[in-house]
Structure 1
Amino acid sequence: MLAWNQKSFLIVDDFSDFRSSVRSMLRELGVKEVDTAETGELAIRACSQKRYDFILHDFNLGDGKKNGQQVLEDLMTDRLISHESVFVMVTAENSQAMVMSALEWEPDAYLTKPFNRASLAQRLEKIVQRKNLLKPILQALDRGKPAEVLAACVSLSKQDPRLAPLCLRYKADALRDLNQHEALEGFLKSILTDRPQPWAYVALGKLLFKRARHGEAQKVYEDAIRAFNAMPVLYDGLADVLMASGDNGRAQKMLEEAVRLSPYAVRRQRLLGKLALENQDFDGASKAFRQAVSQGQFSRFKDPETNLGLAQALISRGGERGLDARTRVEINQTLGEVAKEHTSDAGLQVRARLMKATSVAGSDPEMAAKLTEQAMARLEGMEQFLSADAALAVASQLKQLGQESAGAGILKSCAEIYGVDPAVMQSIARQTDDPQILGAGKAAIDLNMQGIRSYRAGKLGEAQDLFRRALALQPKNISVALNMAQSLLHVGVQNLDNASLQECRNSLKMVGMMPDTDARYDRYQKLRNKAFGE
């Protein structure tokens, strides 16, 4: 029996009668500490101030509010909930779409209304019994120590072999976090040989994909889908593999199936929209982006790129026949939200104006010209770099709006900043055949690769000379500048002479204009902290 009088509860529901009813049930069980909240925002605030043993959270808190899935996303991502705590998703609905969406972030239980005190108590007691058995693992997870998680899994399995099946997934996650790839691969394959489980298929597929073994990863996901065809995450994984292999058409079909199974995932809808747009399925792209915009209003995964994607899909869908009044209103609202919510982001302001200019170019050329002029003026004053994708989009829009010279300038800057990425250069090549833009990129890529090889061989002086030559061609190139700084800092900042330290800092100052969404931003921050003693 649980010591109910020692446990704390948070009940989250928009109906006061339900909150009162559940509180009464808990009081009858002996619970003394019961807090309530009527919105997800209040629930998150409560969890940031206090640790709860149990959270009973309604899935649907009403239109225009965070739902239970979004609250769980926030609590887990911001580590506001312990692994020892119990999160139960409660709902009056039991449609497949609702259940699958609620389960994607893996709450401890899913409870359908109505329920009584006895069934609630029985359900919670079973969850707590399991968590008590795994307490050493859960506590290590809370500390963020994968090595301790692994040790706890081994220890518990030895103490009581009956616990071994409960430890499998925790052990796999620990091996993954410790980058023990060979051991993890063997472990997952042994699990799948013994008793196939969907999570093990997902983990193995992700591992093989990470190691660029795409053919093997594809087979794993295909086998998994045959065995567990109602798991959306398996379709996500197969879509990733297919995209990496260039089969975007089939990848889109996989994401469409995942969305059919679980339609309330913002990031999945956004990825589907982007892929459909690349496949020139403008109806499909519009539908997916529209869902992502709607569902993302109260999600931590809300992203202005979704709004821009929707606007682009709607414009592209209009094609030569132009846009009807209803579509123009939707585009205005979609872009207006970006402009309103991101007033300090010059890049987004530029892109929103160019998108709007593109949408009215056929119906109101004067307005299109005015918006284009405003966007170009903002571009000239921008300090932060556009992302590669954003720069490519801006260059294309400028060309469509008759500003070919300005578009070429954006492509040249994009090549300079991101030129060591072959995928970026391929995208640039689809928009221009100008050898001055493409040639510098090829030379810089070669010099950068030579520099990396020299650095790995311990030839620091030679590596630095190669990176300098690459930077002479592309002074704003993020990867080359970071490589230059790292090669200089290799001996330790205290061992650098003034000239070398200044060279290092200058390289980092230049790439400090990179967007913080860039995958290399963390590396930049670490190098900057070393170089500037921060």
Structure 2
Amino acid sequence: MIDFSSKKAILIEDMAEARILQKKMLTDFGFKSIDVAMKAESAIELLRNNSYDLILSDYNLGNGKDGQQLLEEVRHSSLIPNTSTYLMVTAETSIEMVMGAVEYQPDGYITKPFSQALLQRRLLKLLENKEKLKKVNQALDKNEYAQAIDESKAVMKKYPFLTGKCNRVIGDCYIQLENYPLAKKIYSQEFKKQKMPWSLFGLAKTHLLMKEYSVAETKLKQLMLDNKFFITAYDWLAKCLIEQNRQTEAQSVLIDAIERSPKSILRQIELGKLSLDLQDFLLAEMSFRRAVFLAKHSCFNSPEIYLNHLKSIVGLSTKEELLARQKDSFKSTLKKVDVFSEENVAVNTSVHDLKVQFYLNQNDTVSAKDSFILWNEDYNNGKATQPNSEYKERLSL
């Protein structure tokens, strides 16, 4: 039996009644150390500064990030180790949505409403399995993939019921080690045995990484047909199509993915970049505007998002008259990128360049000249690279 009193937990829940009830349940189980967060942002701060054995997080966290976005961010930022247990609490209607995330899976799900006895049984099983896989996860946390494979094989011999979970780890480790033939063998064997979606996905990824694009495409489409909420499959199908220079088809795939899961900042960025390449500036502007909104308090926040949003508006202005909303959006993003441009010469230069282009496209010569003069001043002060001489001629300066 697991001794809960030795474990540290964090409870992430925005609803007061549910928060109080779940904390009481954990206390009754024997947990003595329980931190509480009402929002994803406050949870991230706690996870950044503490180590937890159990993360119990609701999927719906009110405004801002949901539980799946939180999980993606803390996994991406390595704020929680593989040795921690992450249990997602979902509503009945959201299960299909959260099942779509494959690369950032929680250790388990529990559906509201649930009894104290059910939660206890679920936690016991998860923590016991986590204990059995401790050496595997410790190796994964150190990026020691060969060691993780060896430890997984040892676990399978001792606990045969964990064979599927261990083979999934082994397949993923072979991909990390770029041993694609062995990865393909593992995934293929697992898919023949159990027809699990993750094994078909792993197989498709392996074919793609081996540049077997037509096979990868077929398997990804099969996966999407069987499970329309397996969103990660859409991302990899888009990658597969791009590798075959089928960018327009890839764009359509990403649009479908975003309709099903609109809160993924990385997917919005990918669609925006692809749309810029296709000179579909209207869709690029919409994608990057959404990414700018999602970037707030995100580990994926970067100046590139804001610059690309500005670029998409500038590109749009070369083709048509901008709407008032689009002009306001340009000015709003300019203010947001200031925090990056103050100490970054390359970013500051790009901002100046885009401002001049924007005003020239609007036939606002006065503002374009003012922007060019400010650019030149920053160049003289070492805060930007030299202004484009073409602008100087066009502005008669």
Q: TM-score range by the shorter chain?
A: 0.7 to 0.9
The question of whether the paired residues in 1 share the 8 Å contact of 2:344 and 2:383 is answered with no
Q: Which moved more, 1:30-39 or 1:88-97?
A: 88-97
Mapping 1:128-139, distance limit 5 Å? 128-139=127-138
Per-residue Cα deviation, 1:28-60 (whole angstroms, up to 9, x for no partner): 233222222334344334334432221112344
Asked if the contact 1:175–1:181 (Cα under 8 Å) also holds between the matched residues in 2, the reply is yes
Task: Give the alignment of 1:391-470 within 5 angstroms.
Answer: 401=391
Deviation track 1:189-243 (CA, whole Å, cap 9, x = no partner) reads 3333444333233333333333333334333323433443331111111111211
SS in 1 for 2:10: strand
- Is the Cα–Cα contact under 8 Å of residues 304 and 338 in structure 1 kept in the other structure? yes
TM-score, normalization: structure 2?
Answer: 0.86
279-288 vs 103-112, which deviates more? 103-112
1:367 aligns with 2:367: yes
Alpha-carbon distance between aligned partners in 2 of 1:182 and 1:385, rounded to the nearest angstrom? 48
Query: How many Å apart are 1:115 and its aligned residue?
Result: 3.3
Q: Structure 1 164/108 Cα, relative in aligned 2: closer, same or farther at 3 Å?
A: closer
Q: Which has the higher contact order (CA 8 A, sep 6+)?
A: 2
The answer as to whether partners of 1:100 and 1:262 remain within 8 angstroms in 2 is no
Match of residue 352 from structure 2: 353
Deviation (angstroms), 1:367: 1.0
Aligned to 1:517: none
SS at 1:88 equivalent = strand
Q: Deviations over 1:430-460 (max 9, x none)?
A: xxxxxxxxxxxxxxxxxxxxxxxxxxxxxxx
In 2, the alpha carbon distance for the partners of 1:264 and 1:336 equals 23
For the 8 Å contact 1:89–1:111, the answer to whether it is kept is yes
Q: Is the 8 A contact 2:58 2:90 kept in 1?
A: yes
- Residue 83 of structure 2 contacts residue 130 of structure 2 at CA under 8 Å; is this kept in 1? yes
1:496-515 aligned at under 5 Å gives the runs none
User: What's the TM-score, normalizing by structure 1?
Assistant: 0.66
Question: RMSD value over aligned CA atoms?
Answer: 3.1
Give the partner amino acid of 2:359: V
Match of 1:510 in 2: none
Identical-residue share of aligned pairs (%): 29
Shift in CA distance, 261/385, structure 1 to aligned 2, threshold 3 Å: farther
Q: Name stretches of at least 5 consecutive residues in structure 2 with no aligned partner.
A: none
Letter in 1 for 2:189: S
The answer to whether the 8 Å contact 1:59/1:90 transfers is: yes
Q: Summarize deviations over 1:118-169 as a string: whole Å, max 9, x none.
A: 2322322232243234333223323432122111222222334433222110
Corresponding pairs, count: 393
Return closer, same or farther for 1:228/1:384 CA change in 2, 3 Å cut-off.
farther
Please report how far the alpha carbon of residue 288 of structure 1 lies from its aligned counterpart in structure 2 after TM superposition: 1.5
Q: Could you tell me how far 1:369 is from its partner in structure 2?
A: 2.3
Distance 1:383 1:375 in 2: 9
8 Å Cα contact 2:100/2:231 also seen in 1? no
Query: What is residue 73 of structure 1 aligned with on the other side?
Result: 72
Return the letter of the residue paired with 2:208.
Answer: F
Q: Does 1:58 align with 2:58?
A: yes
The CA distance in 1 between the partners of 2:206 and 2:280, in whole Å, is 31
TM superposition shift of 1:368: 0.9
C-alpha change, 1:101 and 1:224, in structure 2 (3 Å) is closer
Partner of 1:245: 244
Which residue matches 1:205? 204
Q: Which residue of the partner structure matches residue 332 of structure 1?
A: 331
Distance 1:237 1:164, change over 3 A: same
Q: Is the 8 A contact 1:339 1:348 kept in 2?
A: no
One-letter identity of the residue aligned with 1:53: D
Q: Which runs of 5+ in 1 are unaligned?
A: 387-393, 405-534
Aligned-pair CA distance for 1:332: 0.3
Whichever of the two has the greater Rg, that structure is 1
SS in 2 for 1:298: coil
User: Aligned-pair distance for 1:344?
Assistant: 0.6
Aligned counterpart, 1:261 = 260
Label 1:325 to 1:229 Cα distance change in 2 as closer, same or farther (>3 A).
closer
The structure-2 alpha-carbon separation of the partners of 1:216 and 1:89, relative to structure 1 and needing over 3 Å to count, comes to same
Counterpart position of 2:8: 8
Most deviating of 73-82 and 375-384: 375-384
Give the stretch that moved more between structures: 312-321 or 239-248: 312-321
Match of 1:118 in 2: 117
AA aligned opposite 2:345: A
